[in-house]
Amino acid sequence: MPVLYNRISNEELKKRVLNETDPRATVSFYTYFVIDNPRAFRDNLYIKLNKLKVFGRIYVAKEGINAQISIPKNNFLIFKKMLFTLHPALNKVRLNIALEDNGKSFWVLRLKVRERIVADGINDENFDLKNIGEYLQADRVNKMIDDPNTLFVDMRNHYEYEIGYFENAINIPSDTFREQLPLAVEMLQNSKHKSIVMYCTGGIRCEKASAYMRHHGFENVYHIEGGIIAYVRQAKEMGLPLRFIGKNFVFDQRMGERITSDVVAYCHQCDTLCDTHVNCKNKICHLLFIQCPNCAAKFDGCCSITCKEEMGLLYKALLKRHRISNNKIKRFNKSKKLLNRTMQFIRKNNHT
């Protein structure tokens, strides 16, 4: 029976990855296509990726596949050939290679079957996912960004937008893509005469969003092919100025790729310029927020005094528990030694 799930602890896997000497690359890809049996597709793909020592997060659904992975560079060509021949829809699928990366982005392979590869909340049977907006390359992006009759619309979450964005882009203030779609239609109702350019990190959300906008009567809809990642790579290759400023948020251990030197966000605790996302070290809280080095030291990596104090109390409780546990072990070991000596004495006297 082939292995279809990880059976090693995260701690051990993380340790192994951090100690690896062979270089890795972080790669993301997606494509919308019909998968008749997502479970069988998932299991087959897991076996193939596991053999290639691929880690990451992959979602499979009837509507397609969405993946962010880390792969050993010496296995990249084998992986590419495997992927391109896995299904006709994956032949020459665009692979977005990370812009700023040491390959230590993932250390476990999680491959899950989902209802959708992007949770969108769309229940309209007449919605046509194939009726997407026009793809844009980096050169046209730079031309359109200065056009007063063009609106750039950021289809990422607010915490992604706050550390980096295209110049003058509109943010749809929301925590989820599901909430953003109807809100985007509402906010842009009076701009149907303009060109609407949608973008996201790697293209998966803005592609679906462009189809949603067309479904609601918007005609001049575009989206950046490959998202921010592909745009930056193309712009550099073409020698074009970067019109995306700041950092690009990514959903792995890096939490961000530096695109330009601009710092456009602020520490959530002291309001100094900062664009470093962290999770609150209080595991009960685990809030994602921006924290500068000074506040990290002041709050012990926590988001608030409350969480810092809770962390202190939790540490004391764990320390007390650890001491009690150790004392029990010591008492048990002491009793065990005494019992062994007693048994030896009985056996010795029984033989005399």
Whether 24 and 104 map to the same domain: the answer is yes
**What pLDDT is stored for residue 267 in this prediction?**
96
Of the residues 237, 265, 293, which one is the last residue of a structural domain? 265
Catalytic residues: 200
CA 320 to each of CA 324, 326, 327: distance values in angstroms, whole numbers, following the listed order: 6, 10, 10
Whether 58 and 173 map to the same domain: the answer is no
Q: Is the pLDDT of residue 235 over 50?
A: yes
User: How does pLDDT run across 70-104, given as a tens digit for each residue?
Assistant: 999 999 999 999 999 999 999 989 999 988 777 67
Residue 328 included in any domain:
no
- Measure the N-to-C terminal CA separation of the chain; round to a whole number of Å: 58
Q: Is the pLDDT of residue 349 over 60?
A: no
Range of the domain at 100: 10-113
Residue 308 included in any domain:
no
Share of the chain above pLDDT 70, in %: 88
**What pLDDT is stored for residue 275 in this prediction?**
96
Whether 145 and 261 map to the same domain: the answer is yes
With b for 16 or more beta-carbon neighbours within 10 A and e for fewer, the 148-184 pattern comes to eebbbbbbbbeebbbbbbbeebbbbebeebeebbeeb
Q: Is the pLDDT of residue 341 over 70?
A: no
Average confidence (pLDDT) over 161-170: 95
**What pLDDT is stored for residue 21 in this prediction?**
79
Whether 175 and 104 map to the same domain: the answer is no
**What pLDDT is stored for residue 249 in this prediction?**
93
Q: Is the pLDDT of residue 347 over 70?
A: no
Average confidence (pLDDT) over 308-335: 57
| 212 in Cβ contact with 127 (< 8 Å) | yes
Among 93-97, 127-131, 253-257, where is mean pLDDT lowest?
253-257
| pLDDT confidence tier of residue 315, bands split at 50, 70 and 90 | low
Residue 301 included in any domain:
no
The angle that helices 76-86 and 38-51 make with each other, rounded to 10 degrees, is 160
Q: What is the pTM of this model?
A: 0.80
Residue 292 included in any domain:
no
**What pLDDT is stored for residue 75 in this prediction?**
95
**What pLDDT is stored for residue 293 in this prediction?**
96
Q: Is the pLDDT of residue 335 over 70?
A: no
**What pLDDT is stored for residue 9 in this prediction?**
74
Report the CATH number at residue 25: 3.30.70.100
Pick from 6-15, 244-253, 332-341 the range whose average pLDDT is largest. 244-253
Average confidence (pLDDT) over 167-183: 92
| pLDDT confidence tier of residue 326, bands split at 50, 70 and 90 | very low
Q: How many folded domains does the chain comprise?
A: 2
Give the whole-angstrom CA distance, residue 127 versus residue 135: 19
Q: Is the pLDDT of residue 328 over 60?
A: no
User: How does pLDDT run across 185-219, given as a tens digit for each residue?
Assistant: 999 999 999 999 999 999 999 999 999 999 999 99
